[in-house]
Amino acid sequence: MKAVWNDHVLAESDDTVVVEGNHYFPPASLNTDFLETSDHRTICPWKGKAHYYDLVGNGARAESAAWYYPDPSDEASEIEDHVAFYTSQVDVTE
């Protein structure tokens, strides 16, 4: 799987975890040059507290377009620190 935004490869991996239709990319597969930590947080009733990244590059910004769970619930432990992207803003393809 590959995640691309504004012609930048954000992540690429053959080992994503699919949860609720979203591909969660392992931390080692991320290109962090385009990820900027966001203060935005949300709560999922079964996964826990989601933290977000803004995407930045070439003068463009997509706020809170990627998310991850640094301390997920036991039920979602397989996605700890894995990053997913909103497909409305990022092309996630095979």
> Which residues, at least 6 apart from 37, have a Cβ–Cβ distance to it below 8 Å?
51, 53, 54
Read off the pTM.
0.96
Give pLDDT tens digits along the chain (94 positions): 999 999 999 999 999 999 999 999 999 999 999 999 999 999 999 999 999 999 999 999 999 999 999 999 999 999 999 999 999 999 999 9
Predicted local distance difference test score (pLDDT) of residue 20? 96
| Vertex 92: Cα angle to 8 and 30 (nearest 5) | 55
CA dihedral 33, 64, 1, 82 (to 10 degrees): 80
SS3 call for 77: helix
Q: Which of 34, 92, 36 is nearest to 58 (CA)?
A: 34
pLDDT at position 84 is 98
In this structure, are residues 42 and 50 in contact, taking their beta carbons and an 8 Å threshold? yes
